[in-house]
Amino acid sequence: MTDVNQHIFLCDAERAAALGDELRAAGVSGEMSSGADGAALFVEATAIALNSDSDPEMLAPALAFARQSLPNAELFADASVNHIVRCASQAVIEACDDAGDWALHILRAEDADAPGPNRARLLRSEIEAQLKKRRRRLLRSLAPDDAPVDVSSAPTTLVQLYLESRERTWLSIVRPGAQASSDAFWRRCLSPWPGGLWQATENREPPSRAYRKLAEALEQFPWIGGGIGDVDSAGEGPPGSRGAALAIQAGDRVVDLGASPGGWSWVALQRGARVLAVDRSPLRADLMQHAKLDFVQGDAFQYRPESPVDWLICDVIAFPDRILELLRDWVAMKRCRNFCVTVKFRGAGDYGVLVELKNMLNKHARDFALRRLSENKNEVTAFGCL
């Protein structure tokens, strides 16, 4: 008999239908239903469709419209707080006892009848009290309340409680940076941030708010490119291998296509990269004078580097098919080693390009994720490495 698992995907209510289409296009079979608030999709899927049991190299599909995933979720139906606390505490002990750091994210449905913040605080407090009695050392490795998963330590366990309603609470536990394929399988679909919602730090220095999209992308995909799964005890690993999380680093050569007024170039420069910015219009004056920035005035779609660069970053405004062809050229010809590119839509009618985009990246990229980030509007971000 085929095992059936329950997986929960959090999304924006207006894009739940598009997320369902994504799952079906990926070959996921099983019953799908939306939560009362429309911001969660519940999927009963077979192990072959949404698990890695059949292929240890298999990854979950890249889901553009799922901001967070709760794989293999266990339901507590009509359960008391005490029962949920006992079961969740035992599950944490079994999963985290010898597993390094861990984070507990307690998420609430957005429906008016869903449990409020007091219920979430009570569950957290009671779980911590249980662990204090039974495994005090686990509290020392627990991340602060609602903090993102700390991916600087390996391995890290993500524990999620989802309060769907007063009668229905779900528990999901996963270690996305681990070697085990059953956990690493999910890393494309997971965010280190509670509910997938990135928290921006206000900064008035960049030339535009668009900088936040690149800043978020660099914090939303810590497991892409291998995450921290293979770093050694000293926290080191060969660049580009599993274990080296993708990040713009000091000394990297970055090409920013459609760069003006310079928000994305600003992020790269802040990280110590050397930036070549391409646009018909100049960047803000101080960026144009930056010692590590070179400017090429021209068409972003026509520019090609003389040799491969470390990063292609691009937030240019264009029809999605043009962005698809631009990215296809750069990755197929290996003009870059890593990429972060936004794909903008005129409306839901453009979402069909995502199928072709995923097929292209599955063919040419070593690893990638595709997601509508917290800072994205009617657009998604493609992020990955070759």
The residue ranking higher by pLDDT, 322 or 59, is 322
- Predicted pLDDT of residue 146: 78
Other CB atoms within 10 A of residue 37 CB = 17
Q: Quote the percentage of the chain above a pLDDT of 90.
A: 64
Distance (Å, whole) CA 164 – CA 170: 7
Give mean pLDDT, residues 309-324: 97
Most confident of 57-61, 322-326, 344-348: 322-326
Give mean pLDDT, residues 4-14: 85
Which residues are annotated as catalytic? Answer: 344
* pTM listed for this prediction: 0.88
- Predicted pLDDT of residue 138: 93
**Residue 365 corresponds to which tokens in the numbers above?**
């990229």
Which single residue is written with the structure tokens 């997971």? Answer: 190
Give mean pLDDT, residues 1-23: 81
Inter-CA distances, 172 with 70, 89, 120, 291, Å: 5, 12, 15, 48
* 271 Rama sector, left if φ>0, alpha if ψ -120 to 50, beta otherwise: alpha
CA 337 to chain centre: 19
**Residue 317 corresponds to which tokens in the numbers above?**
């405004």
pLDDT digits 0-9 by tens, 220-267: 998 887 643 333 333 333 333 344 568 999 999 999 999 999 999 999
Instruction: Quote the DSSP letter at residue 272.
Output: T
354-360, long-range: CB < 8 A, 24+ apart? 354/22, 354/64, 354/380, 355/25, 356/324, 357/324, 357/327, 357/382, 358/61, 358/62, 360/324, 360/327, 360/328, 360/331, 360/332
Confidence of residue 128 (pLDDT cuts 50, 70, 90): very high
Distance (Å, whole) CA 266 – CA 273: 10
For domain 4-196, the CATH class is alpha beta
SS3 for 312?
A: strand
- Predicted pLDDT of residue 229: 38
Give CATH superfamily name and number for 211-385.
Vaccinia Virus protein VP39 (3.40.50.150)
Domain with CATH 3.40.50.150 in the chain: 211-385
- Predicted pLDDT of residue 43: 86
pLDDT digits 0-9 by tens, 173-219: 988 766 555 667 788 889 999 999 998 888 889 999 999 999 999 99
Q: What is the dihedral of CA 156, 161, 162, 166, to 10 degrees?
A: 180
Inter-CA distances, 189 with 9, 138, 162, 251, Å: 9, 26, 16, 30
Ranges 93-102, 347-356, 366-375: which has the least confidence: 93-102
pLDDT digits 0-9 by tens, 28-77: 777 888 887 778 888 876 543 444 444 445 567 889 999 999 999 999 99
Domain with CATH 3.30.2130.30 in the chain: 4-196
Give mean pLDDT, residues 16-21: 92
Confidence of residue 362 (pLDDT cuts 50, 70, 90): very high
Q: What is the dihedral of CA 117, 120, 126, 132, to 10 degrees?
A: -110
pLDDT digits 0-9 by tens, 256-282: 999 999 999 999 999 999 999 999 999
Supply the mean pLDDT for the chain: 86
